[in-house]
Structure 1
Amino acid sequence: MKAIIDGIRIAGLRAVVPPQRHSFVEDPGMFTVEEAKKLAATIGVQERRVLPPPYCASDLCLAAAEGLMQQLGWDPATVEVLVFVSQDADYVLPATACIMQHRLGLPTSAAAFDVPLGCSGYVYGLWIAAKLLGGSTAKRALVLCGDNPTRHLHPEDRATLPLFGDAGSATALEVDAAAPPIPVVIGTDGAGAPHIFVKAGGKRHCLIPPVGTAGRIADEEAAAQLERDSRLTLNGAEVFSFTLRAVPPLLREAMEHAGTDVDGIDRFVLHQANAFMLEHLRKRIKAPADRFVIDMQGFGNTSSASIPLAICHSMGAQLAAGPVKTLMAGFGVGWSWGAMVAELGPMPEPQVVDLPDGYPVLAV
């Protein structure tokens, strides 16, 4: 599917990460020292940020939103759209976005809801929020993207544990008749659902025993299976195959939809899946290395937050000077994918900051 966002500009970005760091290079754990070094060189992750309980992805996003509104000089009362993109909601219900609306002091006239997408979620979130602005009386929106995938990882899974990190982000959008159009391309193929999967936790495979079992699971093997099903499983071969099959055409279609080509894009910022995969994609579309962002060395794969985090960390000064024609593309879990070409900046310099010590937990 193709779409065009008209009359909306991206006014600012901010990312927040946990101060807690872990590096398999420095602390190999289940790996030998040589294995850890080789792995880091391949996936492009030297260290990752790990969010400790009781904090959740929403806390990172909330801190990002507060800091961004302060940087932009936005009165929270002027923000009437809040989209929280995350696979890690605080509760089964209510929607985490409702609690965030109250905590941020947004007006009760605001639309606030969750979008449970992962790797493609940033592009989806921007598209949804922009279309809401374009079809309503609202003038400003916040798209909050964040995940804490480290909670899903099995402590002995050599395939996923070194790769994933936690992060949150906030992106501000506002109505601006002079803003250049933003072309968008979106797609989905649910056949890929089993390949990046947390089986248990929803109603299909519930983590709590059904009524009538006296609150316990008698069969120890069933309990052990439920524990395994609550962890992330990732079929690396299938993910890689999907990415090389689907993403280069996505990027070309997005550029064609925008009426440009590789030479017309100032920066390519893709979902930071892993460095090995990103380098393959760069070569497939023949993008110059100096315009293709690979920036996950200090953070890991942060799912829905990876694109805004990479932009904030690697393009801050460039966006402050702006404008920068940027191709952003997310792809993965679902399978789900999306890309857009947007002129970013000039804007207040995007920043990456640590979650402050003692930051209050977003809870009810």
Structure 2
Amino acid sequence: MPHASEPCSSAGILGCGHSLPTAIRHNDDPVFNRLPRDPGSSDTFDTVSFFTGSQERRHLSDGETIEPHMADAALQALAQAGIGPESVDRLYGYASVPDHTTPNSLYRVHHMLGLPREALVVPINSEFSNFLASLVLATEAVATGGARHVLIACGSNWTRHLDYAKGHAFAAGDAAAAAVVGPTGLLRVVDHLSQTHSDQYLGLTMSVRSVDIDGHAHLPLDARGLPTPVYSMEAAGSEIYQKLLLNGLPDLVNQLLARNAVHSSQVSLITHQGSRRLLDHWANTIRPGAYLESLRDLGNMTLATYPVNLARHFTSITTPYVVLAAVGAGFHLTALLLENHTRAEAAEAALSAP
């Protein structure tokens, strides 16, 4: 049964997992026929030319939902961590976009996994830094003895919540991923920084709104015939791009590294991946030892981007540190520094743990 544990100074990630829909959407998919492709408008968020870099992206098929993928990813993470669902004290994360305003579908994942009734479920709605925020809270819970094992599960079904006359829809992909935080973890949170630019509160929004198709306004409906939320970057102007996306994110990462005396060459970097232009700029500005990304093959998985790429490389990371750097609605930036401990060290610590 879940219960409080002894404080643990070496709390970290014990295991990861990810799950992808099987359906693949290529750049010539008919769904993209309405997208503007004017190269003269390449600096705006409304054209495909800004969101280049993807050749494939996964998407949910008709009748498919993201929650089973979240559960599958969670089972992989639990298996890699060497524990069962009965050992989970808390479940953090988020399913986006949920079927209901509340409750979040994370509760459905709790049921699908058969987690204990005593396991605390905490949906973290901080698009797109949900995984990062969950990881900070999970580490603190384990480190202070509030929990022994915390499961984090994040899933994105955003391909169903986009206006396909807007450029940002071009890179979108669906995915889910999970991680288990516990004592003697392989990746341990060292530090984190966040900035909130609330003057850009309306820059990125998800709400019920009409979309224009052939000059006529249509209200998108889901399979139940109910209005479905649609993402918008209508209000996102040059300030968000130039100050916060293009330069704000690398500035935050470099601040985080400097205050921890970590050189960028010691870091494997995972960032938001909406555009090849941004990824290339961030790579040149931060100059990490490794850049763990999958834009070409998986597109922009929004909140699932960070845990998916972490899960794909979890057992093969060779740098001493990992940095997760997120952008998100609100508007905010978050960067998280993790220290990479070898499996041998983790196993040795586990043997000596009470």
Smaller-chain TM-score range? 0.7 to 0.9
**Partner residue of 2:316 out of 296, 315, 318:** 318
C-alpha separation in 2, matches of 1:226 and 1:43:
26
Q: Which residue matches 1:129?
A: 138
Structure 2: runs of 5+ lacking an equivalent: 1-7, 40-46, 222-226, 345-354
Q: Is the 8 A contact 1:58 1:90 kept in 2?
A: no
**1:95 Cα offset (Å):** 3.5
Q: Does 1:146 align with 2:144?
A: no
1:260 is matched with 262
- The one-letter code matched in structure 2 to 1:303 is T
Q: Which residue of 1 aligns with 2:110?
A: 101
After superposition, residues 16-31 of structure 1 pair within 5 angstroms as: 16-25=19-28, 29-30=33-34
Residue 276 of structure 1, CA deviation: 0.8
Higher alpha-carbon deviation: 19-28 or 161-170: 19-28
Query: Is 1:159 matched with 2:203?
Result: no
Q: Deviations over 1:127-148 (max 9, x none)?
A: 1121222334421111111211
1:12 alignment partner, one of 11, 15, 29: 15
Letter in 2 for 1:304: L
Q: Deviations over 1:252-300 (max 9, x none)?
A: 12112322121332x1111222211111122223x05x62234211111
Q: What amino acid is aligned across from residue 290 of structure 2 in structure 1?
A: R
Query: What does residue range 86-235 of structure 1 map to in structure 2 within 5 Å?
Result: 86-155=95-164, 157-176=165-184, 182-200=190-208, 224=218, 230-234=229-233, 235=236
1:333 equivalent in structure 2 = 329
Instruction: Sort the Cα spacing of 1:32 and 1:113 in 2 relative to 1 into closer, same or farther, 3 A.
Output: closer
Q: 300-309 or 337-346: which moved more?
A: 337-346
**Shift, 1:239, TM fit:** 3.9
User: When the two structures are superposed, what TM-score results if normalisation uses the length of structure 1?
Assistant: 0.76
Quote the Cα distance in structure 1 between the aligned partners of 2:75 and 2:159.
Answer: 24
Tell me by how many angstroms 1:306 deviates. 0.5
1:274 — aligned with what?
A: 275
CA distance in 1, matches of 2:196, 2:108: 29
Q: How many Å apart are 1:32 and its aligned residue?
A: 10
Measured in 2, the distance between the counterparts of 1:58 and 1:193 equals 29
- Contact 2:154–2:303 (Cα < 8 Å) also in 1: yes
TM-superposed CA distance for 1:21, in Å, is 0.7
Secondary structure at the counterpart of residue 207 of structure 2: coil
What SS is found at the alignment partner of 1:301? coil
CA distance in 1, matches of 2:341, 2:62: 36
Give unmatched runs, 5+ long, in structure 1: 206-220, 349-364
Q: Distance in 1 between matches of 2:232 and 2:51?
A: 20
Q: How many residues align?
A: 317
Q: Could you give the per-residue CA deviations for residues 35-57 of structure 1, whole angstroms, max 9, x where no partner exists?
A: 8xx95896210011111343333
Q: CA deviation at 1:302?
A: 0.6
Q: Is the 8 A contact 1:56 1:90 kept in 2?
A: no
- Matched residue SS, 2:12: strand
- RMSD over aligned Cα atoms: 3.4
Q: Which moved more, 1:114-123 or 1:90-99?
A: 90-99
Structural mapping, 1:46-57, within 5 Å: 46-57=55-66
* TM-score normalised over the length of structure 2: 0.78
Q: How does 1:63-78 map to 2 (within 5 A)?
A: 63-78=72-87
Q: Distance in 1 between matches of 2:36 and 2:185?
A: 57
Find the aligned partners of 1:197 and 1:185 in 2 and give their Cα distance. Answer: 23
Tell me the distance in 2 between the aligned counterparts of 1:63 and 1:123. Answer: 20
2-structure distance, mates of 1:107, 1:26: 43
1-structure distance, mates of 2:142, 2:91: 11
SS of 1:194 mapped into structure 2:
coil
